Structure 1
C-alpha cells in the first residue's frame, strides 16, 4: 500500500511540476527593454504548467558567460527575439548554449525572421528548432499547449507573416508582470502596420490597425500609475490618420502632462488641426523624429515612398519652427537613383530648415522587405549579414557610400552637437554650398569613421576652416560658443575677448543667474561683434568653468564691412 501511494504521489508531482521557459532578452544597452516578453506572456498567461524565467543582457556582454547562465537555469524551452542589432550576438549565445544543453528546444522570433529570413535562419543555424514569422501573440499559446510534440524544425506560419488580429483589444503589455518600469523609458504601440509603400520597410503596405483613443488613454494611465515619465511610441507614422494624431496629442497634453513622448512623424501629413495641436504642446513634452529620407522626387518614386518633397520640406520647416519641442530629421544614403549630390543638397535643406539633429544612415536591405526581393533589379549590392547595409548602387560607387558614412560622422561631430550647431547654421547662411569643402577639410585633418575628436579639438578645427574663407558672422558665433562652453576667453576662437567690468544696465540677460553680478569676486569678459556685444560673468559659486551669466548688448552703430 505504501509503495502504491508513493508511486501515485510521484505521478501527481510530475503532473504538477512546471516546465521551465527561459526568455533571453539581448538589448542594445541596459537602458533598453523589449516588449516581446510582456506581450507574449500576456497572451499565454492562462496556460498552466509553465514557469517563465527571464534573463536580460546586452550585446556588449560575453556570449560564453551568457550561455553558462542560460545552462544553469535548466530550461526545456529557450525563446529569444532576433533584431538587426543583436542577431550575431544572440546566435553565438544560442550556439554555445546548444552545445551545453542539446535537449533544450530553441525558438526565435522578431524582425530577422520576417519573409525569407525565417528559411535562412533554419538553414544557417541548425540548433534553432522553431522560427516564428510575424506577430506571434496569436501563435504562441498553441505552441506551448502542444509542446513538445513539434517536429525537429519548423517555421510558424509556413507561409507569409502572421498578423495578430486581436491586437487592438488585447490587454496592454504594461499590465503584465514582466513589463519593465526600471528603465529610463518604455516603448508603447498605439498602431501596427502602415499603408505607405516604402520598399525598405518591413511594415510597408501592411494592414493598418489602430488602438482606440480610449484604449491608449487606459494604457497610458497604467504607465502613469507605475511611475513612467518617458514613452517612445513604436508607431510607424504617428500622424496618420491625421485626425487621430490630433486626438492623441490633445490627450497627451491634457491627461498626461508629466509624461514625455517620442514620436515618429511624416512631415507631409500636417494639416491645420495637427499644426495647431503641435503648437499647443507643453514645452519639452514631445520629441519629434521626422522621416525625410531623400528630397529628390526621382529617388522617392524609386523606393515607393510617393511623397511630395516640397510638402515634406514645408512640414519640416513648420516642425522646426515650434519652440516647444525639438525635431530631428532622418536621411538615407544608398537609395536607388540617389547620387552624392542629392545627399549634400538634402543635408543643406535640413540645415536651412533648422533641424535640431540630422541623422544620416546608410540604407539597410532588411529581410522580409520588397527591397530585398528587388535589390538585384534595382542595382543594389548590400552586405549579406547584419546590418545588411548597402555597399554600392548603380548611381553610387563604394567610394561614394564610404563618403556618405564619413559625412554622417562629420554631422555627428559638428552639427549634431548643441554647442556647434549654431556655428554650422551660421556657416550655411553665409555660404549654403559649403558642405563638400567642409567635409574635405575634415578628411584632410584625419576624419574617419572611428576617430574621436574632443570638443575643444572640434572648435579649433572649425576656427582653421573659417580662417580660410569669408565667414565673419560664423567666426563671431564660434567665439561666442567657445566662451559659453567654458573654454578660456582670450584664446582660440575667443581671442578677441577682453576683460571688462559689469555689463551696462541696457544689456539683456540671455542665460544664467543675474545674482552673480552682485558678487565682488565675479570676473567679466567682453566679446565684441559687428551687431552685438556679449558680456560673460564668471564665478565658481554659480558655475564651474562656465559662465555664470551671459548678457547681450545690441550695437547701435554696426561695424563697417
Structure 2
C-alpha cells in the first residue's frame, strides 16, 4: 500500500509532530510518506500534489485551525480518487465522532485520541482481512450507521520510537519550528482546554529525549518548542532538562516552553537567571484571567501573587523572554472585569501579551455547560464565542479593537518607551489607552488597509493630536526617540513636524566639531559626521532621560549617530554644548 500522512499547518515554518509519530510507529511494517501543506496553499494545489502521489491511504491530522480547509481537500479528493481510503485523526475530530462521520460521508475512518498504535493496526486490517471491529479506537460508518469501537489503553511512552530521524527532514530543520514533547497529559482541569480531558501526566524516556535533542541540534535545528502542557510540573525534571539544554546549546538556538507560573519555584528562577545564556529560553505562561470567581468556575487553580513573583523575577533576570496569554469571554468575566485582568497583567510588562478569545472546543467541559452561562458561539471552527450572560457581542468587538493595536504597538516593540509613557501618564490605565486608540483606529478604517512602519507613528500622532491627549507633546517626543533608536540606517524622510531649522542645525554641527572630546567619542572626521549623523530636537531633557529615566519637560537637542558597520544608532545629548551661544536661541 502507498500510505500518506498529511496535514495543513498554520504556517510554513511549522512542522507537525503527530504525523511523524505515525510514520515512526508504523515502521518497519509500513513505509508512511509525509506530506505537509499550509492553510494558505490553494486547495487544488494540495489536491493535485496528493493525487500525483497515487496513494491507497491518506491520513489527515486535524486541528481547530485547519479542519475547514482540510474538508475542502477531502471533498475534492473523493471525487477524483473514489477508491482511496481517507482517515482523519487529531484533537478536532476525536470528540463528537458521530457528528464528523455524518457530516463527512467522504471519509472512511476516524482515529480517536492517541493514534500511533491505532493507525498502525488500521493499516494492517486495510492490507489484510478488513475486520474493522478488531481495531480499537476508531469510528466509521457501517450500513449507514456510525460505529465507534472501544478506545484502546494508552501507549507506554517510554517505548515510543523517535519521530525525528527522517533524512527528508534534515534540510528543513534550521528553517522551521521543531516541536518536541517529553510528556503527555496535564495535571490541571481547566474546563476550556482539551488537556483537561486526559487524566494524569505520562512521561517519555528521558534519555531518548536527550538523544533526540542532540540529534536535532547537530543537524541545524534553531527553534525547538516543547509542547508539554506544564513543562515545570516536576521541579527536579525541569531543572535537569534546563541544565542539559544549557550544556548542549548551539549558537542561535532558542528553546520554548509552556510554563505554569505560580508553581515555578524561586530557586529554579535563580538558577536560570545565573546560568542560562540570554535569549536561550522563552517562556509561555497562560494567565487567562485574574478574576477569582472566573477561575473557580473553570476549575483553574491559580495563585496570581505567586505568578506575579515568577514573572517579575524572570524579567529582572533579563535572560528569558516571556509571552503571557489572556482569554476574553470566560464565565462571569464581564467587560469591566476583563479590563482589570488586562491591567493586572500588562503592569508586569511581558515581552508579549497575547489577547485571545474563548473558543468552545469540542470535548471540553465549558462547551458541554455552555447553556448554563448563556454562551452563543460559531457553529464552525474556530468556535469562537459571540457572547454570554455577562458580555455581549458589542463588548467583544471593543475588546478586539484592543487586541488589534496591542499587537501592533506592544508585541511588535516598535515604540516601547512611548507606550509605557502613555499607559502610565496620559491614560487612567493601560487598557484605556489601547481601547481608546483601538476604537479610533477602527473609526478611521485603518484595519481595512495596510500600513508601513512610518504609518504606525503618524497614526498614533494623529490620534494624540485629534483627541487632545494629555502630555501628547512629550509622547510625540518619545515616539521620535523610539523611531530613531530602533532604526538601522539614517532615515531619508522624517514623519515628525518639529524639524530642526537648517540655520540652527549648521550652528550645532559647528559647535560639535569644536567639542574635541565628543569628536573623539564619535571617532568621525568632519565629512563622516555629516554623513552618519543627524540632529533632532526633543520636548524633554535627553540627558536626564538617558541617565535617570525621567521625563523632564524641556527642549533639548541630540545627535543621532548611525554606525556604518552595524547600523545600531547611539543618541548623544547635546546639553554640554552652549546652545544659546551657538544658536542664538
TM over 0.5, shorter chain: yes
Over 3 Å counting, the alpha-carbon distance change for 1:554 and 1:328 in structure 2 is farther
Indicate if the aligned counterparts of 2:499 and 2:536 stay in contact, CA closer than 8 A. no
Q: 1:124 matched to which residue of 2?
A: 103
Q: How does 1:354-369 map to 2 (within 5 A)?
A: 354-369=349-364
Q: How does 1:401-416 map to 2 (within 5 A)?
A: 401-416=396-411
Q: Distance in 2 between matches of 1:424 and 1:334?
A: 26
Secondary structure of the residue that 1:264 maps to in structure 2?
strand
Secondary structure of the residue that 1:291 maps to in structure 2?
strand
- Which of residues 169, 179, 184 in structure 2 aligns to 1:187? 179
Does 1:436 pair with 2:432? yes
Indicate if the aligned counterparts of 1:115 and 1:367 stay in contact, CA closer than 8 A. yes
Secondary structure of the residue that 1:321 maps to in structure 2?
helix
Q: Distance in 2 between matches of 1:357 and 1:516?
A: 38
Q: 1:103 matched to which residue of 2?
A: 83
Q: 2:571 matched to which residue of 1?
A: 550
- Which of residues 108, 115, 126 in structure 1 aligns to 2:95? 115
- Which of residues 518, 529, 534 in structure 2 aligns to 1:524? 534
1:118-149 deviation digits (Å, cap 9, x = unpaired): 22211100111110111111212211222150
Indicate if the aligned counterparts of 2:191 and 2:298 stay in contact, CA closer than 8 A. yes
Q: Distance in 2 between matches of 1:448 and 1:370?
A: 38
Over 3 Å counting, the alpha-carbon distance change for 1:419 and 1:340 in structure 2 is same
Over 3 Å counting, the alpha-carbon distance change for 1:56 and 1:456 in structure 2 is same
Structure 2 residue runs of 5 or longer lacking an equivalent are 140-147, 546-555, 578-585
Does 1:24 pair with 2:6? yes
Secondary structure of the residue that 2:451 maps to in structure 1?
coil
Over 3 Å counting, the alpha-carbon distance change for 1:216 and 1:479 in structure 2 is same
Q: 2:551 matched to which residue of 1?
A: none
Indicate if the aligned counterparts of 1:288 and 1:328 stay in contact, CA closer than 8 A. yes
Does 1:222 pair with 2:218? no
Secondary structure of the residue that 1:56 maps to in structure 2?
strand
1:297-354 deviation digits (Å, cap 9, x = unpaired): 1111121112122222332222332312221111111111111122322332333212
The offset of 1:95, in angstroms, is 0.9
Q: How does 1:134-283 map to 2 (within 5 A)?
A: 134-148=113-127, 149-150=130-131, 156=138, 158=148, 164-177=154-167, 179=169, 182=172, 183-204=175-196, 206-258=199-251, 259-280=253-274, 281-283=276-278
Over 3 Å counting, the alpha-carbon distance change for 1:234 and 1:461 in structure 2 is same
Indicate if the aligned counterparts of 2:6 and 2:60 stay in contact, CA closer than 8 A. yes
Secondary structure of the residue that 2:372 maps to in structure 1?
coil
Q: Distance in 2 between matches of 1:130 and 1:177?
A: 30
Indicate if the aligned counterparts of 1:200 and 1:370 stay in contact, CA closer than 8 A. yes
1:407-428 deviation digits (Å, cap 9, x = unpaired): 1111012112212222111212
Q: Distance in 2 between matches of 1:171 and 1:84?
A: 27
1:479-517 deviation digits (Å, cap 9, x = unpaired): 2113334556875166479733349788899xxx95557
Over 3 Å counting, the alpha-carbon distance change for 1:491 and 1:455 in structure 2 is closer
**Larger CA deviation: 428-437 vs 187-196:** 428-437
The offset of 1:98, in angstroms, is 0.6
Q: How does 1:339-378 map to 2 (within 5 A)?
A: 339-378=334-373
Q: Distance in 2 between matches of 1:448 and 1:336?
A: 32
Q: Distance in 1 between matches of 2:572 and 2:151?
A: 60
Indicate if the aligned counterparts of 2:19 and 2:61 stay in contact, CA closer than 8 A. no
Q: 1:10 matched to which residue of 2?
A: none
- Which of residues 309, 314, 319 in structure 2 aligns to 1:319? 314
1:177-215 deviation digits (Å, cap 9, x = unpaired): 565550322111111100111111111152201235433
Q: Distance in 2 between matches of 1:508 and 1:81?
A: 63
Indicate if the aligned counterparts of 1:37 and 1:178 stay in contact, CA closer than 8 A. no
Indicate if the aligned counterparts of 1:348 and 1:432 stay in contact, CA closer than 8 A. no
Indicate if the aligned counterparts of 2:94 and 2:110 stay in contact, CA closer than 8 A. no
The offset of 1:99, in angstroms, is 0.8
Over 3 Å counting, the alpha-carbon distance change for 1:139 and 1:516 in structure 2 is farther
Q: Which structure has the highest helix share of the two?
A: 2
The offset of 1:398, in angstroms, is 0.8
- Which of residues 278, 286, 293 in structure 1 aligns to 2:281? 286
Q: Distance in 1 between matches of 2:193 and 2:269?
A: 27
Secondary structure of the residue that 2:116 maps to in structure 1?
coil
The offset of 1:54, in angstroms, is 2.9
Indicate if the aligned counterparts of 2:10 and 2:65 stay in contact, CA closer than 8 A. yes
Over 3 Å counting, the alpha-carbon distance change for 1:516 and 1:534 in structure 2 is farther
Q: 2:482 matched to which residue of 1?
A: 481
The offset of 1:364, in angstroms, is 0.9
Over 3 Å counting, the alpha-carbon distance change for 1:547 and 1:20 in structure 2 is closer
Q: Distance in 2 between matches of 1:385 and 1:428?
A: 37
Q: Distance in 2 between matches of 1:290 and 1:145?
A: 42
> CA RMSD, aligned part only?
3.1
> TM-score, with normalisation over the residues of structure 1?
0.86
Q: How does 1:50-69 map to 2 (within 5 A)?
A: 50-69=30-49
Q: Distance in 1 between matches of 2:42 and 2:495?
A: 46
Q: 1:461 matched to which residue of 2?
A: 459
- Which of residues 56, 69, 72 in structure 2 aligns to 1:92? 72
Q: Distance in 1 between matches of 2:517 and 2:420?
A: 28
Over 3 Å counting, the alpha-carbon distance change for 1:313 and 1:249 in structure 2 is same
Over 3 Å counting, the alpha-carbon distance change for 1:321 and 1:465 in structure 2 is farther
Over 3 Å counting, the alpha-carbon distance change for 1:111 and 1:514 in structure 2 is farther
Q: Distance in 2 between matches of 1:451 and 1:80?
A: 35
The offset of 1:522, in angstroms, is 3.5
Over 3 Å counting, the alpha-carbon distance change for 1:424 and 1:138 in structure 2 is same
Secondary structure of the residue that 1:453 maps to in structure 2?
coil
Does 1:535 pair with 2:530? no
The offset of 1:155, in angstroms, is 5.8
**Larger CA deviation: 443-452 vs 65-74:** 443-452
Q: 2:470 matched to which residue of 1?
A: 470
Over 3 Å counting, the alpha-carbon distance change for 1:81 and 1:449 in structure 2 is farther
Matched pairs, number = 531
**Larger CA deviation: 210-219 vs 410-419:** 210-219
Q: Distance in 2 between matches of 1:535 and 1:462?
A: 23
Q: Distance in 1 between matches of 2:297 and 2:576?
A: 52
Q: 1:9 matched to which residue of 2?
A: none
Indicate if the aligned counterparts of 1:478 and 1:493 stay in contact, CA closer than 8 A. no
The offset of 1:386, in angstroms, is 0.5
